[in-house]
Amino acid sequence: MDIKKERFQSHTFYTLKNNCGLEMTFCNYGASIYSIKYKGHFVTYHEDDYAEFLKSDKYGGKTLGRVAGRIKDGVLKIKNKTYHLERNEKNNTLHGGKRNLSFRHFATTLSENESTMNVVFKYTSLNGECGFPHKVRFIVVYSIKKDENCFSIHYHAMTDGLTPISMAPHIYWRLKGKDVLNHNLMINAGEVTTLNKDLIIVGKEKVRKIYDFRKAKKIGDDIKEVAKDNPRANGYDCGFILNETDKSQIVLKNDGIKLSIKTDMNAAIVFTNCYPSNRKMKEYGKDVIYGGVAIEPQMYAPHLEDKFIDSKHPFDHYISFHLEDY
């Protein structure tokens, strides 16, 4: 197992390289993927260095949770009790609050077997953290194939009581080019989520033309119309309800590089970096609008209570990624 371990400030970065040219750097801060290289070329849109990454309040590469997405007014109701959560996006709770999983320190172990290298991150969230009830033990496992340009993420969460859980990745991809507008995207989804003015999911509908990626098209083809359709989003920031299939549900291609994604979760948020910041990005300099695309497989549920887990029903899901030439 080819591993490079670096301490920076109070955090640890781990770089693992397989036999086929796939190189990934992880960090215990937020159970994160800092960067991914494919045959010597960065395919992630990420901060210029570790210092930029650690000071950023963006979610690039980090694990989202306790609950990915927005919770209206930061209010959680379980049975007859109301919980007031940390609010970190105006009046709402985004991705679990100010100190959500993306900004927590995870314990780390490394392992390998004949076919894979594994990075295992663990974190225990105490009862009341960010306002959520009950203790939750989170496990994030990244597994890299030694002889294939493939990796997977396995999410597992166990709790001692009724509480909502919805974990997701937030990896920004830019396979090649100055932005992602010319990237071809295919999403096997016939429905998309509907949003209110605060970008909170309120339901779903059949895909309209501007959101229809069942036949691959460039991300930039309809993005101006999407921005008009939801000015607050200023681009794609919505969920696609994935069709069940044995094949990859999402495929991203550009300039000879192809990324295929498959998951057992029923949806994926697509976010086209609609709100650039002042952070400095690796190889590209200033953060720019549409500079990367975050593809975030996760569980769609029409109501927050549909995301509840308990001691007998843990959260347990996976995502697989495959990079190749075309």
Q: Is 2-325 a domain of CATH 3.40.50.300?
A: no
**Separation CA 172–CA 60 (nearest Å):** 6
Instruction: Spell out the long-range contacts of 85-92 with Cβ–Cβ below 8 A and sequence spacing 24 or more.
Output: 85/130, 85/131, 85/132, 86/130, 86/131, 90/198, 92/198, 92/200
The three-point CA angle 70-300-127 to 5° equals: 55
Residue entry with tokens 């697989």 = 320
Residue 101 confidence class, pLDDT cut points 50, 70, 90: very high
Residue 1 confidence class, pLDDT cut points 50, 70, 90: low
Please report the pLDDT score of residue 120 as a whole number. Answer: 98
- Could you report the per-residue pLDDT of 170-227, keeping only the tens digit for each? 999 999 999 999 999 999 999 999 988 888 899 999 999 999 999 999 999 999 999 9
Query: Mean pLDDT over all residues of the chain?
Result: 95
- Could you report the per-residue pLDDT of 133-174, keeping only the tens digit for each? 999 999 999 999 999 999 999 999 999 999 999 999 999 999
Q: Are 270 and 188 in contact (CB under 8 A)?
A: no
Please report the pLDDT score of residue 268 as a whole number. Answer: 98
Average pLDDT for 252-268: 97
Instruction: Give the count of alpha carbons within 13 A of 257, CB side only.
Output: 22
**Separation CA 107–CA 121 (nearest Å):** 6
The C-alpha R_g of the chain, in whole angstroms, comes to: 19
Please report the pLDDT score of residue 17 as a whole number. Answer: 97
Please state the domain extents for the chain: 2-325
Residue 2 confidence class, pLDDT cut points 50, 70, 90: confident
Q: Are 297 and 166 in contact (CB under 8 A)?
A: no
Amino acid of residue 245: T
Residue entry with tokens 């895909």 = 207
